[in-house]
Amino acid sequence: MIKIQKEDFNSEEEINNIKKLYSNVGAITSFIGYVRDKNNNNKVQSINLEVYKDMAYKQLEKIITKARSKWNLIDCLIIHRYGKLNINSKIVFVTCFSEHRNDSFESCNFIMDYLKKDAPFWKNEFYDKKNEWLINSN
């Protein structure tokens, strides 16, 4: 499942909504990314994330399909926020559900690596007296 939204999310609620659909889940691995107060030796005030939603949905579907081909997954959830986000706001939530931990660990890391490097989201960081568009990287 993929959600691209401005609204915050409740990670426990999101996990429980999927977990209750499957009795064979033995492992759940999650990652939550937050807005930090410092980056590249600058004090961050906020960030603004822009996204081309149609492209993002297609690309995220492809990466989930690729993860499913490499690992035995029951389900995957990606929530990625966009818009203005303040310090300590949640940006991204990736959760992988499987019968065994290695599948969930490795697939979650694989998806996050893709999101950090290749996903069609653009981050503009705002500092005290300037702002800067960041280049995607691991």
Region 14-32 average pLDDT: 96
Decide if 133 is inside a domain: no
Give residue 116's pLDDT band: very low, low, confident or very high (50, 70, 90). Answer: confident
How far is the C-alpha of 133 from the C-alpha of 39, rounded, in Å? 12
Decide if 34 is inside a domain: yes
- Average of per-residue pLDDT values in the chain: 93
Domain count along the chain: 1
Judge if pTM exceeds 0.95. Answer: no
Decide if 116 is inside a domain: yes
What residues make up the domain containing 25? 2-127
Q: Which residue has the tokens 């568009």?
A: 133
Decide if 135 is inside a domain: no
Q: What is the tens place of the pLDDT at every residue in 30-71?
A: 999 999 999 888 899 999 999 999 999 999 999 999 999 999
Decide if 113 is inside a domain: yes
Residues in Cβ contact with 129 at an 8 Å cutoff, skipping those fewer than 6 apart: none
Region 10-23 average pLDDT: 96
71: CATH: 3.90.1170.40
Q: What is the tens place of the pLDDT at every residue in 97-112?
A: 999 999 999 999 999 9
Decide if 137 is inside a domain: no
